[in-house]
Amino acid sequence: MLLDVIAVKIEPDHQLELKFENGELRRFDMRPLLEMKPWNRIASSQIFERAKVEYGTIVWPGEIDIAPETLYDDSVPLYVNENSSEYGTKR
């Protein structure tokens, strides 16, 4: 099942907090990809932080993107602590 990304939040250490159209919040670690082409071109914080949502996925300047199914399949679910606005990783 293909789920569109509807929101992204840039986190430290090249992490992306993603919201998918089904309401799920997930965290994706870009660090392994930043060693490969074409993503090595967005490794600098200045460029990486320019990520935005377009066409249901995440895109960066220079027409660099990543498939939404990769973002979903290779990310970890997050949960919201009901007693605060903090997020955590599901175990």
CA dist., res. 30 & res. 3, Å (int)? 19
CATH number of 5-77: 3.30.2020.10
Domain boundaries of the chain, sorted by first residue = 5-77
Token digits for 71? 């973002």
pTM of the predicted structure, to 2 decimals = 0.85
CA atoms within 13 A on the CB side of 23: 2
How far is residue 52 from each of residues 5, 22, 49, 66, 80, measured CA to CA in Å?
A: 10, 19, 9, 11, 23
Predicted local distance difference test score (pLDDT) of residue 88: 52
Q: What does each of the 91 residues of the chain score in pLDDT, given as a tens digit?
A: 689 999 999 999 999 999 999 999 999 999 999 999 999 999 999 999 999 999 999 999 999 999 999 999 999 999 765 554 454 544 3
